[in-house]
Amino acid sequence: MLKSFLRPMPAALLLAASLLTGCASTTQGGAIGANRSQLLLVSEAEMAQSAQQYYAQQNAQARAKGQLITSGAEYERVHTIMRRIVPQVAHFRADALNWKWQLVLINQPEINAHVMPGGKVTFYTGIIRQLKLSNDEIAAIMGHEMAHALREHSREKASVQQASGLAISLGAKMLGVNQGQMALIGMGKKLALDLPFSRSMESEADALGLELAARAGYDPRAALTLWDKMAATGDNGPTWLSTHPAPASRKEEMAALLPKVMP
């Protein structure tokens, strides 16, 4: 009798079980009410290790080119903003206060910034200089990128890719799908799942970032002027083909949230 209960679980049931056990939420909702269950199949430790390796490699390459900035007036300006925002992360997740928050500037014209799991912050001088950012606008970017790290969007995205990839693979085997059909399925998955999911994460980071900056005493209305500047520099192609929402729609969504965060 015991052997009958030890038969291998069908792959579809394994997938369903993993989806059920992998749902959680990494943060509290805050004043904006960002409450949502997340699929987290990939471990937090695995993502943190990958982030640390990438950060070290990025910094080593920038240092070798003489582009790594870790002191000076421009660095201290951004570092001061980061230090003001970091205590506010406790409103979303208390454990993030214990992250080893670290900032580097990279002297490149790239209009970019990112915050990796564990609080590893990178700003490119290009985004500060070319957009002529105010402190409030830097805070809007900092809050947005911190929100990605707090919500562990990279971990969630990897988990969704893992689950959807397994589901497609199982379905293809069951239905006898050929290679050409798999390519079409992959394109459909990108348009119907991957890109909309990426855009929703960006909108979520906009909202959480707005609150983080406001709690730190920065004017959240600066996010609106920031996206006016970003719209003037970016490629405004079709939103449905982009990983990010259109600047105009982002600005509209953040404007609607201002009454919640202005206090």
Where in the sequence numbering do the catalytic residues fall? 145
User: In which region does residue 66 sit, left (phi positive, over 0), alpha (psi from -120 to 50) or beta (all else)?
Assistant: left
Is the distance from CB of 236 to CB of 248 less than 8 angstroms?
Answer: no
Angle, helices 11-21 vs 153-175, to 10°: value is 160
φ, ψ dihedrals at 219, nearest 5°? -75, 110
The secondary structure element, H or E, covering residue 102 is strand 102-106
Helix (H, G, I), strand (E, B) or coil at 7: coil
Residues facing residue 31 across a β-bridge: none
Both tokens of residue 230? 């970003």
Pairing of strands 68-69, 120-124: unpaired
Q: What is the dihedral of CA 73, 261, 215, 148, to 10 degrees?
A: -70
Buried b or exposed e, range 11-23, using 16+ CB within 10 angstroms: eeeebeebeeebe
